[in-house]
Chain A
Amino acid sequence: MDMNKKIKVCVENLNVYYGDKQALYDVCMDINQNEITALIGPSGCGKSTFLRCLNRMNDVIDICKVEGSIKIDGEDIYNKDVQVEKLRERVGMVFQKPNPFPKSIFENVAYGPRIHGLAKDKIELEEIVFTSLKKAAIFEEVKDRLDETGTSLSGGQQQRLCIARAISVNPDVILMDEPCSALDPIATAKIEALMEDLKKEYTIIIVTHSMQQAARVSSKTGFFHLGNLIEVNDTETIFSTPTNEKTLDYVTGRFG
């Protein structure tokens, strides 16, 4: 691990079960701050489960049991003193399918800061909304139609609106679960360019089925297979000279 990089997320011996079925086996992974880390692997390999553990999204699944430790900035997020709402303020999430609220563009972004009490008045709230939209590289496209409903936007715009919504509550970490799989290549390129910008302020962890996307955007890549983290390394190494034969087979298209 790079010595001059700060570790933002430290995962140790993570075991996850859905009822009797074990979904993750003893996963250990350090995630650097202000970097993009990509998680790849075939469907059902556990990468999304892993991602969802990082902001305790799995809490809502009754049969899901999580063992091990996940520390963000040294603090165990599964500690019973941790307030899940506060955690999700720090660890935002962007989903595969853009899911704006059926509200105005403005309200989509204002919602989070309002319920978390981040703005003391209307002016401050507006400032947060505008800044978030600017950071998500969508402000110019929507500034004259902030009252229109979020669902009226194109898929790519909706996804950037969701990113604006995620960053409006000032998180440290942004989780992205296949954020571009429903988008065309141009909208995808815009999201990828945006990620490059966002990593200066945030730590980004992205699950993607597109290996080319992982190769393009991330500094580190982790390969999951059957619930095991097979290999994690510099992205360039994963796609050129991976250590593990399974990783090599996967990145070269030898098994799915």
Chain B
Amino acid sequence: MSDHLVESYDKQLELINSNLVKMGGLVEQQVKDSLQALDNKDTEFAEEILKKDDKIDDLEKEIYALAYKIIAMRQPMANDLRTVVSALSIANDLERMGDHATNVAKRVANVKVSMPSNSISKIVQMGDDVQIMIKNVLDAFIKMSEKKAITVWDSDIDIDETYLSIYKELLQTMAENPDTINGCAHLLTIAKNIERIGDYAQNIAEDIHFIVTGETLERKSENAGQWEDVDIQT
């Protein structure tokens, strides 16, 4: 596609995209660090992570301001309009991902050595998969690839399955040994936060698909209903 006749319009659209990529990079790092802090039970490092969330929030505000400006001043059409409107949604999703990463970091202090190590390593493994999702969705965004976006969208099912298995396992542990309830509740929350990060990556994949095609991504979630049999086994 050719450039706009008005060069400054192109520059504004480029700026909105480069800010999103920058924000995505910060979120990616934030998730990576919080998982590392969790894996190493490194409370000090976790404290550092909390301070970095403001940068992500600031970028979100910048992207919002720019998007409003473009809509008001340029009246974007077609794919330009989708880029700007989706930027609002993507920025919001990235900001939420950053919050969830921060939530993980906040709970590192509550994770004790005595907690079920099997579940912790499973959570870290899920975190690794989520990181791959983030990397891939940012890649799909930079390349504006509908195909890559669909691949990311589909990969969320693996995260959901892992989360379900962690959930079941922790429920079982708590049922068997009530002394672990406090620690396991923290682990459940951590796992949920990471699983949510995957959901937001999936949302971004939907936005990319919308920007490229103008159509919403219609795909069936295949694991619906698997939660029905989750119950505490005593």
| Chain A residues near B (Cβ < 8 Å) | 211-212, 215, 239-242, 245, 248-249, 251-256
Contacts and interface: CB of A to CB of B under 8 A. Distances in A.
B78 A242 contact: yes
Contacts of A245: 1
A252 B77 contact: yes
Contact of A212 (B5, B75, B214, B215): B75
Contacts of A212: 75
B82 to A, nearest CB: 8
A248 B1 CA distance: 9
Given A240-B214, A241-B214, A251 B77 contact: yes
Contacts of B78: 239-242, 248, 251-252
Contacts, number: 42
B4 interface: yes
A248 B3 contact: no
B17 to A, nearest CB: 15
What secondary structure prevails in chain B residues at the interface with A? Answer: loop
Nearest to B9: A253
B79 interface: yes
A252 B6 CA distance: 11
Contacts of A211: 77
B77 A254 contact: no
Nearest to A245: B1
Given A240-B214, A241-B214, A249 B81 contact: no
A254 B77 CA distance: 11
B2 A239 contact: no
A51 B48 CA distance: 68
B56 to A, nearest CB: 30
Interface of B: 1-6, 9, 75-82, 213-215
Give the most central of B1, B6, B213, B215: most A CB within 10 Å: B1
A196 B140 CA distance: 43
Contact of A252 (B79, B214, B215): B79
A251 B6 CA distance: 13
A252 B75 contact: no
B81 A256 contact: no
27 contacts: A211-B77, A212-B75, A215-B77, A239-B77, A239-B78, A240-B77, A240-B81, A240-B214, A241-B213, A242-B78, A248-B79, A249-B1, A249-B2, A251-B78, A252-B4, A252-B76, A252-B77, A252-B80, A253-B4, A253-B9, A253-B77, A254-B2, A254-B3, A254-B4, A254-B5, A255-B5, A256-B5
A193 B118 CA distance: 68
A232 B78 CA distance: 15
A249 B5 CA distance: 10
Please name the 10 residue pairs, one residue from A and one from B, whose CB atoms are nearest each other, closest first.
Answer: A241-B214, A251-B77, A254-B2, A252-B80, A252-B77, A252-B78, A253-B4, A239-B77, A254-B4, A251-B78
Contacts of A249: 1-2
Contact of A254 (B1, B75, B81, B215): B1
